Amino acid sequence: KKALTGVGSASKDQVQAMVERLLPGVKVVGADAADALAVAIAHAHLGASLRKGLL
């Protein structure tokens, strides 16, 4: 939650809204789908940071 929204106590609605904002044109159906996409986005960002030597 914190990696995506900046707040660790973000609601599921806030996570879903951020996922939809980061993936324009994607229709997120349900909180579970939003959570799965949020994990994928956070993982992709972490991988990119590690490859660039930022972490």
Number of structural domains (the chain) is 1
What the block records as the tokens of 32 is: 């579970």
Per-residue pLDDT of 16-43, as tens digits, reads 999 999 999 999 999 999 999 999 999 9
Range of the domain at 25: 2-51
The CA-based dihedral angle spanning residues 50, 51, 52, 54, taken in that order and rounded to the nearest 10 degrees: 10
pTM over 0.85: no
pLDDT tier, 1 (very low <50, low <70, confident <90, very high otherwise): confident
pLDDT at 35: 93
Rg value, the chain, Cα = 12
